[in-house]
Amino acid sequence: MRPLPGPPPPTSTLQPVPTANTIQPTPTYALPVLCAITAHEAAHGSAARHYGDGTAAFLGRVTLNPLKHIDPIGTIAMPLFLYIATGGAFVFGYAKPVPVNFGQLRHPKRDMVWVALAGPASNLAMALVWGALLIVLDGVGVTEPFFLKMCQAGVLVNVVMWAFNLFPLPPLDGGRGLVGLLPRGAALAVSRIEPWGFFIVMGLVVAGVVSDLWMRPLMGFTFHLLDFVLAPLQALIG
């Protein structure tokens, strides 16, 4: 899944060299993207099972097998079409959504927050793993550009997915989490947006609102956070 924004200013040691677009679809991105969407969807299913809904587990979606999460249209056809049609300026895609029956959760309104946030949280964790791997490879003297760029791609892909999915509008994870946090009346009002939420989000992406007011600030903060957490490892190996 990729919106328009370019990376934040190059203040993070984990960040790839800035380019015109957030993610350039090259072979170095194939494995990071596949891992990111797989972990994201599996995390939703795992959290739902933990809080009482076994729907995703019953359907075999609590798995790290990427084939279970790939949507032929959203994961392959749409990104490919948009990449060709826009010359790589705008690429967007999605995985097959994990089915969650919120009514089966032990505390539906509260637990839906944790189920929603589990996906983005998995991407933040994966960004940390890719960042640690980048530091280790660099520290032991690996100079093969493909592997180093793949680690950078892994950080960037997961930071993008973390930030974009936290946007507080359903059907994105941030929007569903917001529904769980708001008082009942306000939550009902926000939840009614969901049938049109996808089109609203896309309009905001194209208009640059998501990029300028949400993605850039949150991604910049996240890169600084990753640098801070990984600083001890950097000092140890470096």
Tell whether 169 is covered by a domain: yes
Report phi then psi at 187, rounded to 5.
Answer: -65, -40
Mean pLDDT confidence for 211-218: 92
89-128 pLDDT, tens per residue?
566 677 888 899 989 999 999 999 999 999 999 999 999 9
DSSP the chain: ---SPPPPPS--TTSPPP-SSS----GGGHHHHHHHHHHHHHHHHHHHHHTT--HHHHTT-SSS-GGGT--IIIIIIHHHHHHHHHTTS-----PPPPP--GGGSSSHHHHHHHHHHHHHHHHHHHHHHHHHHHHHHHHTT---HHHHHHHHHHHHHHHHHHHHHTSSSTTSHHHHHHHHHS-HHHHHHHHTTHHHHHHHHHHHHHHTHHIIIIIHHHHHHHHHHHHHHHHHHHHHH-
Q: Does residue 22 lie within any of the structural domains?
A: no
10 located within any domain: no
Q: Does residue 219 lie within any of the structural domains?
A: yes
For a pLDDT cut of 70, what percent of the chain falls above it?
A: 84
Tokens encoding 199: 């089109």
- Told to judge if 194 belongs to the known catalytic residues of this protein, a careful annotator would answer no
Element (H, E) at 130: helix 108-139
Residue 19 is predicted with a pLDDT of 32
The pLDDT of residue 92 is: 66
pTM of the model: 0.85
Please give the average per-residue pLDDT across 198-227, as a whole number.
91
Does any domain span residue 63? yes
- Total number of domains constituting the chain: 1
Q: Does residue 89 belong to any structural domain of this protein?
A: yes
Torsion of CA 48, 53, 54, 57, to 10 degrees: -20
Is residue 14 assigned to a domain? no
Residue 6 has pLDDT above 50, yes or no: no
- Asked, for residue 21, whether it belongs to a domain, the answer is no
The pLDDT score that the predictor gives to residue 88 is: 60
Annotated catalytic residue: which of 14, 41, 111, 226? 41
Identify which of 21-25, 100-104, 141-145, 228-232 has the greatest average pLDDT.
Answer: 228-232
**Which residue segment(s) compose the domain that 86 sits in?**
27-237
Q: Is 9 exposed, middle or buried (0-12, 13-18, 19+ CB in 10 A)?
A: exposed
pLDDT at residue 18, rounded to an integer: 32
Q: Are 45 and 56 in contact (CB under 8 A)?
A: yes
pLDDT at residue 80, rounded to an integer: 79
pLDDT of residue 81: 76
pLDDT value for 14: 46
pLDDT tens digits for range 44-86: 999 999 999 999 999 898 998 888 888 888 778 877 776 677 6
Type of residue at 205:
V
Residue 5 has pLDDT above 60, yes or no: no
pLDDT at site 104: 94
User: Once rounded to an integer, what is the mean pLDDT over residues 147-164?
Assistant: 94
